[in-house]
Structure 1
Amino acid sequence: MRSLERHRDAGAYALGVLDEADAFRFEDHLVGCPACVLTLDELELPARQLACYDRATPAAVAPCAVPGAGLLERALREVGRRHAVRRGAWRCALVLAVVLVLGAPAVALMAAAGSGPERISARDARSGVAGTLTARDRAWGTELALTVRDPAPGARVCALVAVGRDGAEHTVTTWRTRAARTVEVPAAAALRPQRTDRYEVRTADGERLLTLRP
Structure 2
Amino acid sequence: MRSLERHRDVGAYALGVLDETEAFRFEDHLMECPQCAVQVTEFGPTARQMMLYRRATPRAVHPFAGPGPQLLDRLLGEVAARHRAVRRRVLYAVAASVVVALAGPVLAMTMGAGGGDGGEDPVRVTATDEKSGVWAQVTTENETWGSHVELKVKDGAGPRSCRLIAIGVDGSEQTVTSWTVPEHDARPNTVQGAAAWNTDEIDHYELRTAAGEHLVTLPAH
- TM-score, scaled to structure 2: 0.50
Where do 5+ consecutive residues of structure 2 fail to align? 1-41, 49-78, 102-116
Maintained 8 Å contact 2:44/2:176: no
Question: Between Structure 1 and Structure 2, which shows a larger proportion of helix residues?
Answer: 2
Match of 2:166 among 135, 156, 162: 162
Give 1:44 deviation, angstroms. Answer: 5.5
Any idea what the Cα deviations from partners look like across 1:35-90, whole Å, max 9, x if unmatched? xx9xx9xx756424389x9xxxxxxxxxxxxxxxxxxxxxxxxxxxxxxxxxxxxx
Aligned match of 2:107: none
Aligned match of 1:86: none
Taking a change above 3 Å as real, the CA distance of residues 161 and 44 of structure 1, as seen in their structure-2 partners, is: farther
Distance (Å, rounded) in 2 between the aligned partners of 1:189 and 1:33: 8
Maintained 8 Å contact 1:114/1:136: no
Distance (Å, rounded) in 1 between the aligned partners of 2:144 and 2:151: 20
Maintained 8 Å contact 1:198/1:212: yes
Match of 1:206 among 203, 209, 212: 212
User: Percent identity among equivalent residues?
Assistant: 38
Taking a change above 3 Å as real, the CA distance of residues 174 and 116 of structure 1, as seen in their structure-2 partners, is: same
Give 1:151 deviation, angstroms. Answer: 2.2
Aligned residues: 129
- Look up the SS of the partner of 1:206 in the other structure: coil
Maintained 8 Å contact 1:141/1:188: yes
- TM-score, scaled to structure 1: 0.51
RMSD over aligned CA atoms reads 3.4
Give 1:212 deviation, angstroms. Answer: 0.9
Distance (Å, rounded) in 2 between the aligned partners of 1:124 and 1:183: 17
Give 1:208 deviation, angstroms. Answer: 1.0
Maintained 8 Å contact 1:142/1:189: yes
Counterpart of 1:177, as a letter, is: V
Taking a change above 3 Å as real, the CA distance of residues 143 and 44 of structure 1, as seen in their structure-2 partners, is: farther
Maintained 8 Å contact 2:44/2:177: no
